[in-house]
Structure 1
Amino acid sequence: MPIVRTLLSNRFATATRDRARRTAGRALHRGWKWLQDAGAVTNRNPGPYRFGELGDGTKLAFPLGTVFNEQWVTIGPFSIIGERVTISAGFLPGLDLGPEPIVRIGGGCVIGRGSHIVGHQSIVLGDDVWTGPDVYITDQAHEYRDTELPIGKQWPRNEPVEIGAGSWIGTGAVILPGARIGRNVVVAANSVVSGEVPDHAVVAGAPARVVRRWDAAEGWQPPIRHDAPRPLPDGVTAEQLRALVGWDLRIPGEDDGSAADEQVAGER
């Protein structure tokens, strides 16, 4: 009997510990979710940050990365900035960087978690630029021509960076000073980009080179191997599309379309 009581006692203690652990886990995750919601930065809830512009519907996820001199950073509407993304302007916090923005991020952009956008002269991302996680974009590099002076102490070199609207920057890519990336460009994961990239191109490698381009006469060269995705069916309403995507795709001030949908439904 003592053995039975011991076994029952051990089982009861184990069950109690498991219940306590589950309860604590649920409470921890609920608390973290609350912190994420409360700590997210928007134009209605900017927290301690004073961005030069923060568009309607844009959100910087909590926890943020390093953010300073945000007065010289503008972000358009309906952009999503992932967790732990660093966005900075200038060398150090508290600098006067002049009348113009240093970092400009367009509307509808998505910046993957852990990415860095480090601007000193000019970084411009057009509308609908999406990146994977851990992307690094900078307009400054250290000089190294002086063989006697440590590289970190040599005066840096700035060159503006521009990424055209609709481009996709893959995970771990590095965009170097002077890069001019065209519209609707794909930058493959872990690529290192400098110099000019034409519109509608795919670049890959370190240093990155063009591996596919779109030609008005011949289409994509070399041809894309997989089939194109099926288009949306005819008659899909704006509300159905929003429900499918899961986002609010309306621009600020736009009617939600429900009245028009109801009118169409009545006409049918």
Structure 2
Amino acid sequence: MDMGIKRLLNRGVLAGWRWLDRAGEITPGTRAADGFGSFGSGTSIGFPVATLMGTRSIHLGSGILIGRQVTLSVGYGPDDAGIPERGLVIGDRCVIGARCSLVAHASIELGDDVWFGQDVFVCDASHGYQDPDLPIGEQFGGHLPVRIGSGSWIGHGAIILPGATIGRNVVVAAGSVVRGEVADHTVVGGAPARLLRRLEPGVGWVGPRGDVRPVLRGHFGEADESGFVSA
């Protein structure tokens, strides 16, 4: 192909994709946004989406940024009449990275200012396995609500299992698998996730072997006068 024609086609394709990107974005006032239980001001869902299901049970706060190819779903299918009124609730100013999946059946709730990396998976139900004659995919497990506290960061590729309760300002390291309860102001990582560091007022960020990192303030980690937290 002639290089000039190739450049022209490339320019046209990229321009068309940028137009689709803008036109396909879900924002307040669009028909797709009207199908949600609530859809806050300044919130957007990138184009293209992966799956949107049970949107009347999904409630989005304001100022949320949701990336491309994200799945937001409630229930076992588009015709599931038994979905809860508030199956998936996302607080204000959250960021959900590309290709994340939030799959709710009873309740998944994110506080304000929760940030996800890419490819994070969160679900509040799993499969059973104890009937040896029934396919695993047809054995539905119990519904265990998931909570993620305000200000927390969930790293790339993390998996949040049914029943997990993650506190405020928690760091979940990339690739971690989280179950159970995670306390406020902690850093966890691994599969299954374990405690890597916790905040001790008046001391700092303490590791499992007693090593201490100072408290830093501000967006870029500027040290205060003491480097520690007041009791």
Q: State if a TM-score over 0.5 links the two structures.
A: yes
Does the 8 Å CA contact 2:57/2:86 hold for their aligned counterparts? yes
Provide structure 2 residue ranges, at least 5 long, that are not aligned to the other structure. Answer: 223-231
Please say if 1:172 is aligned against 2:157.
yes
The letter of the residue matching 1:145 is: Q
Please say if 1:224 is aligned against 2:213.
yes
Deviations 1:164-192 (A, max 9, x none): 00100000000000000000000000000
Does the 8 Å CA contact 2:33/2:39 hold for their aligned counterparts? no
2-side partners of 1:132 and 1:66: how far apart? Answer: 18
Q: Which residue of 1 aligns with 2:228?
A: none
The letter of the residue matching 2:213 is: I
| TM-score, length of structure 1 as denominator length | 0.77
Please say if 1:84 is aligned against 2:79.
no
Deviations 1:69-103 (A, max 9, x none): 10000010000110000000000002223562100
2-side partners of 1:201 and 1:48: how far apart? Answer: 35
Higher strand share: 2
Aligned counterparts, 1:1-268, within 5 A? 17-47=2-32, 50-97=35-82, 100-222=85-207, 223-224=212-213, 229=220
Q: CA RMSD in A?
A: 1.8
The letter of the residue matching 2:110 is: L
Deviates more, 1:219-228 or 1:200-209: 219-228
CA-CA distance at 1:227 after TM superposition = 7.2
1-side partners of 2:200 and 2:146: how far apart? Answer: 25
Does the 8 Å CA contact 1:102/1:119 hold for their aligned counterparts? yes
Does the 8 Å CA contact 2:84/2:106 hold for their aligned counterparts? no
Summarize the Cα distance change of 1:200–1:46 in structure 2 as closer, same or farther, 3 Å threshold: farther
The letter of the residue matching 2:59 is: T
Q: Could you say what secondary structure the match of 1:118 adopts?
A: strand
- How many residues align? The count is 216
Summarize the Cα distance change of 1:230–1:165 in structure 2 as closer, same or farther, 3 Å threshold: closer
Q: Which residue of 2 aligns with 1:255?
A: none
2-side partners of 1:185 and 1:209: how far apart? Answer: 12
1-side partners of 2:197 and 2:188: how far apart? Answer: 7
Deviates more, 1:39-48 or 1:164-173: 39-48
Whichever of the two has the greater Rg, that structure is 1
Q: Quick one: percent identity of the two aligned structures?
A: 46
2-side partners of 1:96 and 1:220: how far apart? Answer: 47
1-side partners of 2:29 and 2:176: how far apart? Answer: 36
CA-CA distance at 1:33 after TM superposition = 0.3
Summarize the Cα distance change of 1:62–1:205 in structure 2 as closer, same or farther, 3 Å threshold: same
Does the 8 Å CA contact 2:205/2:215 hold for their aligned counterparts? no
Q: Could you say what secondary structure the match of 1:156 adopts?
A: strand
CA-CA distance at 1:47 after TM superposition = 3.4
Summarize the Cα distance change of 1:134–1:49 in structure 2 as closer, same or farther, 3 Å threshold: farther
Q: Could you say what secondary structure the match of 2:85 adopts?
A: coil
Does the 8 Å CA contact 1:72/1:97 hold for their aligned counterparts? no
CA-CA distance at 1:225 after TM superposition = 7.8
Higher helix share: 1
